[in-house]
Amino acid sequence: MQSWRRKSLWLALSASWLLVLLRVFPLLRLAVPARPWAGAPQGWPRWLDAELLQSFSQPGELPEDDPQLPQAPRGGSCDWGACFDVSKCRGGGLKVFVYPVAGPISDTHRRILASIESSRSRSVSPDEACILLLLSLEAPAGECIPVPQQWNGGRNHLVLSLHPAFCTQTFQLGQAMVAKASPMVDTFRPGFDVALPLLPEAHPLRGGAPGRLGQHSPHPGVPLLALAEERGGWRTAVPDSSACPWDGRCEQDRGPEQTHPGATLPNATFCLIPGHRPDALHFLQALQAGCIPVLLSPRWELPFSEVIDWTKAAIVADERLPFQVVAALQEMPPTRVLALRQQTQFLWDAYFSSVEKVIHTTLEIIQDRIFGASAHPSLLWNSPPGALLALPTFSTSPSDFPFYYLQRGSRPVGRFSALIWVGAPGQPPLKLIQAVAGSQHCAQILVLWSSEKPPPPRWPKTAVPLTVLEGQRKVSDRFFPHRAISTDAILSLDAQSSLTTSEVDFAFVVWQSFPERMVGFLTLSHFWDEARGGWGYTAERANEFSVVLTSAALYHRYYHILFTHYLPKALRALADEAPTCVDILMNFLVAAVTKLPPLKVPYGKQHLEARPPLAPEGLESQPPVQDCINRMAVEFGYMPLVSSRLRLDPVLFKDPVSVLRKKYRSLEKP
């Protein structure tokens, strides 16, 4: 009994101690003010009954959500779905009607009209038009344009004003889209209005002012920052610890701030631009100079912000933290600086360098809205060559274009289509067909019969399918995007061309490495003729070239689309007048898109002797031909051709090793 009592007593005693310790110990933990366990989870509590919490919406509430008819847009607010009637926009091209202006036509007006005419859009009568364009310009004596007849509440109207002076008092804009320079963020209707850049008075109409970026990376001596000044100039500021973008070590202070009052274009890596509207003009200057714009809380909408990804080319920072911004710029890794810098220049060149480009971009944005799902993907807008040159009517998949293989991690299709143009003499090029069909890369042969004579009923048997297409007896027809072309690469040939199978094979292997360029065998070079004060070209062999003849050239089939749908009609007509011009025109086009010269591959001497001269001889006797290069240069607004001094040969070309080791040995025949 006693022992039982004693035992129970001890049990009770120890149990109570246990209780005390268990209870007190957590209290001791709580009482210690410092956070005792590093890394222990802190923050929002894990609720014991978290599992029992109710969902934010009861089942059934989401689907039951009462249906309701759409609300009418409230006063003044408009968006694309509510205020634009797409039904009139069916059919090829954008149908535009431009209101005529009463009285004298100003110079700016004329420029805009000209650029609309040269765009891919069509002019139609106001009843058929998809877009009615109203040019809002500074009227001479502060007068405003009267409300036009077909106004209809502004529906399907685009009010375009390149310069900020804007006249809204006379009538309500209502449902009209407004495209104006640097609109204020507060009044801008995203997805409906279009933000234009604030252009300087003397902006070139066509071709455009070239970008000033001479090199990819900033020059080591260039200051980090330039500040936009009120008077329109730029001030380069050298912060105390001037940054050297290429590694951590930096040169010492370059002295006090330098002022260049006369300089209109900044020479710095970054350009600080205050957020007020007048400073928008600086924005374009920075772009042109390849100076990365750093916008301090801009109150205006960035130009074409609907499609251009400005984070790739500019930095929008908070004006309240200037020092933080400068510190961040100094620490920015060179890779990012390099990417931003190149993007500024690409954007300048693609969308801003001329009035024409600005207008075309505006129309292209509206066209994209109409297209909906088949609009330009963002990649096409934001990487070279830009959306004006990458037409979504060709394809909406970037992998189909010659420009984006790397970004998409894809390759062009490994075969080519030979497109043989048979002109007036009407001789079927049997030898050529055999030579081309012998290539392992040839997928098909298309004969474009453009002769008066009917095509022969029988064609030689070839390893690849041969199709005869009826041409329209126009030279420009050879660059028409025929449906029969099934490969990415086209080998364009004349009936008179003469090529060997190895030449074709090698040229195609080279093209696969450069799918955006033209690869050719015979070349021309252009030059500036001081005596005549114009451009000239020559077929004489020289140390450099800038044109490859399309009578034997490989290129991407997309260029057929551009040739037919992008080039103005006038240029194509010019090419039809003088057939040699067509070579130059095609080269102009490809060079304008790629900004690079074409490529030349070896061409056997034996052909030169066997064939009639390819290039015109006695240039002086054919002034219209010689002149087409100048007329094209005028139409383009600049000279896009770029010269090259190299030729791509097979790796062992004419090397002193056994011919048996060489893959393209027949290229070496004397």
Q: In the window 314-373, what residues touch other proteins (CB under 8 A)?
A: 315-321, 323-325, 327-329, 332, 334-336, 338-339, 342-343, 345-346, 372-373
Residue of 125, 65, 55 whose CA lies nearest to 95: 125
Query: Which residue in the set 109, 277, 408, 607 belongs to the binding site for other proteins (CB under 8 A)?
Result: 408
Task: For other proteins, give the closer residue by CB, 24 or 570.
Answer: 24
Question: CB under 8 Å to 298, separation ≥6 — which residues?
Answer: 185, 273, 275, 280, 316
Write down the least CB distance from residue 528 to other proteins, Å.
Answer: 17
Query: Which residue in the set 383, 492, 500, 502 belongs to the binding site for other proteins (CB under 8 A)?
Result: 383
Gap between the Cα atoms of 350 and 147, Å rounded: 34
HSE (CB half, 13 Å, CA atoms) of 377?
A: 12
Write down the least CB distance from residue 187 to other proteins, Å.
Answer: 10
Q: Of 597-616, which residues contact other proteins (CB under 8 A)?
A: 597, 600-601, 605
CA dihedral 595, 522, 572, 211 (to 10 degrees): 10
Query: Which residue in the set 34, 102, 406, 531 belongs to the binding site for other proteins (CB under 8 A)?
Result: 406
Write down the least CB distance from residue 382 to other proteins, Å.
Answer: 7
Show the tokens assigned to 504.
Answer: 């074709």
18 forms part of the interface with other proteins (CB under 8 A): yes
Write down the least CB distance from residue 66 to other proteins, Å.
Answer: 5
Gap between the Cα atoms of 161 and 196, Å rounded: 9
Residue of 608, 620, 488, 597 whose CA lies nearest to 548: 597
Residues 440-469 vs other proteins: string with x where CB under 8 A?
Answer: ------------------------------
Q: Of 496-525, which residues contact other proteins (CB under 8 A)?
A: 506, 509-510, 513, 523
375 forms part of the interface with other proteins (CB under 8 A): yes
Kind of pairing, strands 534-538 and 523-529?
A: antiparallel
Tell me the CA distances in angstroms from 448 to 183, 507, 548, one per residue in order: 52, 22, 21
Task: For other proteins, give the closer residue by CB, 1 or 657.
Answer: 657
625 forms part of the interface with other proteins (CB under 8 A): no
Task: For other proteins, give the closer residue by CB, 223 or 650.
Answer: 650
Q: Of 627-656, which residues contact other proteins (CB under 8 A)?
A: 642, 644-655
Q: Of 236-255, which residues contact other proteins (CB under 8 A)?
A: 244, 246-247, 249, 251
Question: CB under 8 Å to 18, separation ≥6 — which residues?
Answer: none
Write down the least CB distance from residue 228 to other proteins, Å.
Answer: 18
Write down the least CB distance from residue 408 to other proteins, Å.
Answer: 6
Write down the least CB distance from residue 181 to other proteins, Å.
Answer: 19
257 forms part of the interface with other proteins (CB under 8 A): no
Write down the least CB distance from residue 363 to other proteins, Å.
Answer: 19
HSE (CB half, 13 Å, CA atoms) of 638?
A: 17
Residue of 415, 482, 488 whose CA lies nearest to 448: 482
Query: Which residue in the set 117, 138, 309, 627 belongs to the binding site for other proteins (CB under 8 A)?
Result: 309
Q: Of 49-88, which residues contact other proteins (CB under 8 A)?
A: 49-50, 53-57, 59-71, 73-74, 77, 79-82, 86
Residues 554-583 vs other proteins: string with x where CB under 8 A?
Answer: ------------------------------
Stretch that binds other proteins, among 230-238, 307-315, 447-455, 471-479 (CB under 8 A): 307-315
Write down the least CB distance from residue 67 to other proteins, Å.
Answer: 4
4 forms part of the interface with other proteins (CB under 8 A): no
21 forms part of the interface with other proteins (CB under 8 A): yes
Gap between the Cα atoms of 329 and 229, Å rounded: 20
Classify the C-alpha dihedral 613-614-617-623 as positive or negative: positive
Task: For other proteins, give the closer residue by CB, 118 or 498.
Answer: 498
- Give the E-state strand segments of 288-358 in sequence order: 292-296, 315-317
Total chain residues near other proteins (CB under 8 A) = 153
Write down the least CB distance from residue 93 to other proteins, Å.
Answer: 16
Gap between the Cα atoms of 206 and 355, Å rounded: 7
Write down the least CB distance from residue 494 to other proteins, Å.
Answer: 22
3-state secondary structure string across 201-256 = CCCCCCCCCCCCCCCCCCCCCCCCEEEECCCCCEEEECCCCCCCCCCCCCCCCCCC
Task: For other proteins, give the closer residue by CB, 17 or 470.
Answer: 17
Whether 584 contacts 538, CB under 8 Å: no
Residues 267-306 vs other proteins: string with x where CB under 8 A?
Answer: --------x---------------------x---------
Write down the least CB distance from residue 581 to other proteins, Å.
Answer: 23
Write down the least CB distance from residue 511 to other proteins, Å.
Answer: 10
Enter the DSSP assignment of 563: I
Task: For other proteins, give the closer residue by CB, 298 or 423.
Answer: 298
Stretch that binds other proteins, among 108-116, 155-163, 577-585, 594-602 (CB under 8 A): 594-602
Task: For other proteins, give the closer residue by CB, 357 or 478.
Answer: 357
Task: For other proteins, give the closer residue by CB, 64 or 143.
Answer: 64
CB burial of 615-649 (b: ≥16 within 10 Å; e: otherwise) equals bbeeeeeeeebbbbbbbbbebbbbbbbeebeeebb
Show the tokens assigned to 660.
Answer: 């048996």
CA dihedral 83, 88, 91, 95 (to 10 degrees): -80
CA dihedral 467, 469, 475, 479 (to 10 degrees): -70
Q: Of 164-223, which residues contact other proteins (CB under 8 A)?
A: 185-186, 189-191, 213-217, 219-221
User: What residues are paired with 375 via a beta bridge?
Assistant: none
Stretch that binds other proteins, among 356-364, 394-402, 424-432, 556-564 (CB under 8 A): 394-402
Query: Which residue in the set 1, 42, 142, 169 belongs to the binding site for other proteins (CB under 8 A)?
Result: 42
Residue of 307, 285, 288 whose CA lies nearest to 360: 307
Task: For other proteins, give the closer residue by CB, 123 or 396.
Answer: 396
Gap between the Cα atoms of 493 and 213, Å rounded: 38
Show the tokens assigned to 464.
Answer: 């690849």
Q: Of 123-152, which residues contact other proteins (CB under 8 A)?
A: none
Q: Of 89-118, which residues contact other proteins (CB under 8 A)?
A: none
Query: Which residue in the set 241, 264, 311, 606 belongs to the binding site for other proteins (CB under 8 A)?
Result: 311
Question: CB under 8 Å to 307, separation ≥6 — which residues?
Answer: 365, 368, 376, 378, 381, 387
Tell me the CA distances in angstroms from 172 to 168, 198, 354, one per residue in order: 7, 23, 30
CA angle 664, 666, 668 (to 5 degrees): 90
Task: For other proteins, give the closer residue by CB, 453 or 595.
Answer: 595
411 forms part of the interface with other proteins (CB under 8 A): no
Whether 242 contacts 329, CB under 8 Å: no
